[in-house]
A and B are shown apart, each in its own frame.
Chain A
Amino acid sequence: MRSRLAICGLLALVAPSGCIASNVVATGDRLVTTPVVALHFEPAPGLPLQGLYESVEIRGDAALSLRKVYYLFDTGGTYTAAALTEVDGVPSFQTLNGTWKSTAAGLELDGRPPVLLEQAPQHLRITAENGVLVLRAANLQ
């Protein structure tokens, strides 16, 4: 009788372990990831641009000194933009006013050769010679 009780007690102790799931973080998931990774971009030739966009990721050599970028596109074909750069530890903003044109060849900024423009829900990706810029639609408040 006593041995049966002991077995029941042991089972009572062990049983909850099946209810508590292991929550060990996998080795591949240790690094902080950004939501941009999950986005699927598709080419967007001729995409009309409008509204405010802010950068959520900057890749390539441009990422060495570029920290943040804002674009405000106007349907009339003009834009204004600001970029926060950091050079020798000194951050400073650059501002731009120019023109944009979205064609089958890509996005033409200020009459320059077109760059690859892609889109994902609420996001744009611009691939230039020395960097890739991922922008997310933002609201003017």
Chain B
Amino acid sequence: MATKLLQWLGALFIVLLVATAIGGLLVLKDRVRVVVQSDAPTSGPDPTALLRDDVQVLASRMGELQAALSQNFDRLQAAIEERTAARHADVIALRQEVGTARQLLDRLTQDLVALRGQVRGLQPQAAPQQQPAPANPRVESAAEAAVPVEVAPSPPAHAEPAPAVPQAKPAPGFLSFSLPAVQFRCDELQDYALLPGLCRVGFDAKSTLHDFTGVTEKVAGRFAADFDDPEGAWSGEVTVDAGSLVTGVEGRDTDMWEHLATKEHPQIRFAIQRFRPAPGGIDVQKQTARGDIDGKMTIRGQTRSLTMPVQLEVDPQKRVVVSGQVPLKLSDYGVPVPSQLGIINMQDEVVVWIALRARMQPKGHK
């Protein structure tokens, strides 16, 4: 009986012991820290020092590499600049040669035309009995009729026959009319004159009630442009008769002219200073150009720099069509922004646009 009691007591003690151990472990598990430390003395070099040393060596080598690369880049840059300068000089020389060749060609064309005139003058003398072919039309130029063609004296009868005049290639005609060989080239500097009645300039405005456009066709001007000029050395000026701008509402037009002070400043002007072609914006083959025109806009007597994105193309009538638009603020030019009773307001910003047609002019023609 007593043993049994002791057995029970022992078992109970073990259970209590285990329970105490588990409880202690649970309580102290977060506070226990196990540190494994070697008792052996540190005999090797300090790893931090080694790392620092490595980093210093690496930095030193990087510096040397940078210096070497810098020298190489300098040499490369110098070589590129030298080559670019040489290329530029080549291009200039080539352009001059092409220009000279074109002048020569023009001279030859003039000589050819003069020769044809002389041949024409000689024909009646050489064959006075010859009947003109009935099918050929009688072509008479007013200029030729007014100015007698200088004809070389006919050779004496006993003289040997003159060497045969090479058959001149007939001038490019059109429906029996005789036309000169004129070529349109947009890839060289040309003068263009705006065509009256075929140009429009306007602005799109927004107001409280509705949006509207002011427009005029009284546009004049001229410009010099070379589509293929990488420097974009364009020049010229477009002028607009400010008093001819109309919006379709008579009262509003009167207010607009007052705001623009058209009596004191009758013209709106845009002076072209430079053309900056867009990347890939020049296509000489298709005769198109796309880019930005830098210039000076003058409205109400106040001039501000303005950049207008434009597109140029050649239409079937061989005219250059220029279109573009740019937003601008009226207040920048001292134009009062219209407002009715403070309720109906026009926005300060308007979009100014151009839709122009211009025709190539002969060089030196004013």
Binding site for B on A (CB under 8 A): 13, 16-17, 20-25, 27, 30-32, 57-66, 69, 81, 83, 85, 87-90, 92-99, 109-112, 115, 126, 128, 130-133
Interface of B is mostly: loop
- Number of B interface residues in the complex (CB < 8 A): 52
**Nearest chain B CB to A34 CB, angstrom units:** 8
Contact A31 B321 (CB under 8 A): yes
**Nearest chain A CB to B208 CB, angstrom units:** 8
Q: In the complex, A16 Cα to B340 Cα: how many Å?
A: 14
Knowing that A17-B209, A32-B198, A87-B180 are A-B contacts, what are 12 other residue pairs whose CB atoms are under 8 Å apart, sorted by A's residue number? A13-B343, A23-B212, A24-B213, A31-B321, A32-B217, A60-B316, A66-B177, A87-B362, A88-B365, A98-B176, A99-B134, A133-B174
Contact A94 B174 (CB under 8 A): no
Known: A20-B210, A112-B176. A89 touches B365 (CB 8 A): yes
Partner of A85, one of B177, B199, B355: B177
* B150 beta carbon closer than 8 Å to chain A: no
Known: A25-B215, A94-B177, A110-B135. A64 touches B318 (CB 8 A): yes
Q: In the complex, A32 Cα to B142 Cα: how many Å?
A: 33
* B139 beta carbon closer than 8 Å to chain A: yes
Partner of B176, one of A20, A58, A90, A96: A96
Contact with A along B285-326 (1 / 0, CB 8 A): 000000000000000000000000000000011110101010
* B361 beta carbon closer than 8 Å to chain A: yes
Return 9 A-B CB contacts under 8 Å, by A number: A13-B343, A24-B212, A25-B204, A31-B321, A64-B360, A69-B175, A94-B141, A94-B142, A98-B138
* B23 beta carbon closer than 8 Å to chain A: no
**Nearest chain B CB to A4 CB, angstrom units:** 19
Q: In the complex, A94 Cα to B146 Cα: how many Å?
A: 12
Q: In the complex, A122 Cα to B127 Cα: how many Å?
A: 45
* B184 beta carbon closer than 8 Å to chain A: yes
Q: In the complex, A24 Cα to B184 Cα: how many Å?
A: 35
Chain B residues, CB < 8 A from A88: 362, 365
Known: A32-B198, A62-B174, A130-B172. A94 touches B321 (CB 8 A): no
Known: A30-B353, A89-B361. A115 touches B139 (CB 8 A): no
* B143 beta carbon closer than 8 Å to chain A: yes
Contact B202 A25 (CB under 8 A): yes
* B200 beta carbon closer than 8 Å to chain A: yes
Q: In the complex, A92 Cα to B140 Cα: how many Å?
A: 11
